[in-house]
Amino acid sequence: MPKRVDHEERRAQIAEALIQVAGRRGLHAVGMRDVAAEAGVSLRLVQYYFETKEKLLFHGLQHLTDRFTARVGARLAAAGPDPGPRATVEALLSASLPTDEESRTFHLLYSSYAILSVTDEALAAQPFIDNPDAAENALTGLLEHAQGAGLADPDADARTEAISLLAMAAAMGTSILVGQRTPESAIAVLHHHLDRIFATAQTPEGGAGPN
């Protein structure tokens, strides 16, 4: 009996090949033939599943986003059953910094997709991500929750802080890629800003208040 083909698994295999070869050569330099060779399949098979390079690129972006989500989930799982808003915010932001090979590839390609979508009409016709405000909304909600629980500066504007943190993480990620700063120094800057946001004058639960 011939082996049954799992089409989603095959799509994921090809998308992963795109990410791997693009991480080495740059997204702009990758063709469907390169992806086929990386995946160990025929060019005809890549064309069967994706038809055009633009469709392959868009599916690759979705695959890249799924990998990022899984990486954040792993960080949160390592933080314990109830990591709290600060640990969650830190996991979201630090996962996007290029501190290892996988996160380096994510930052490089995600930035490349953003730039390419400005000049590539076919790619620009697709939504860059399903919900472009998802990360901003998630961070804003976490900061508002922390404020309500007395864990963050109540006078801070949660939306503005979320936007600032995301912009800072993106810029620091690029500075790591080009060798301007080390991952350790970037993480130290991130901690500095989180310390500012999550610093409160309140006494920890069960502690003694000021005299």
- What tens digit of pLDDT does each residue of 37-86 get? 999 999 999 999 999 888 898 888 888 888 888 888 888 888 888 888 99
Q: Is the pLDDT of residue 210 over 50?
A: no
Query: Average pLDDT in the 102-123 region?
Result: 82
Contact 107, 169 (CB under 8 A): no
Q: Is the pLDDT of residue 34 over 70?
A: yes
Q: Is the pLDDT of residue 205 over 50?
A: no
The Cα 206–Cα 63 span in angstroms is 46
- The three-state secondary structure class of 155 is coil
Q: Please tell me the predicted confidence (pLDDT) of residue 101.
A: 87
Cα dihedral angle (191, 97, 151, 138), rounded to 10 degrees?
A: 160
User: Tokens standing for 173?
Assistant: 């990620």
Q: Is the pLDDT of residue 165 over 90?
A: yes
Give me the domains of the chain, ranges plus CATH numbers: 7-198 (1.10.357.10)
Q: Please tell me the predicted confidence (pLDDT) of residue 1.
A: 41
Q: Is the pLDDT of residue 33 over 50?
A: yes
Q: Is the pLDDT of residue 200 over 80?
A: no
The Cα 81–Cα 105 span in angstroms is 29
Query: Average pLDDT in the 73-101 region?
Result: 89
At a CB cut-off of 8 Å and minimum separation 6, what does 156 contact?
143, 147, 197
Percent pLDDT > 90 in the chain is: 49
Q: Please tell me the predicted confidence (pLDDT) of residue 75.
A: 87
- The three-state secondary structure class of 33 is helix
Q: Please tell me the predicted confidence (pLDDT) of residue 207.
A: 45
Contact 103, 183 (CB under 8 A): no
Q: Is the pLDDT of residue 117 over 80?
A: no
Contact 18, 57 (CB under 8 A): yes
Environment class of residue 175 by beta-carbon count within 10 Å: exposed (0-12), middle (13-18) or buried (19+)?
middle
When pLDDT is cut at 50, 70 and 90, the band that residue 123 belongs to is: low
When pLDDT is cut at 50, 70 and 90, the band that residue 211 belongs to is: very low
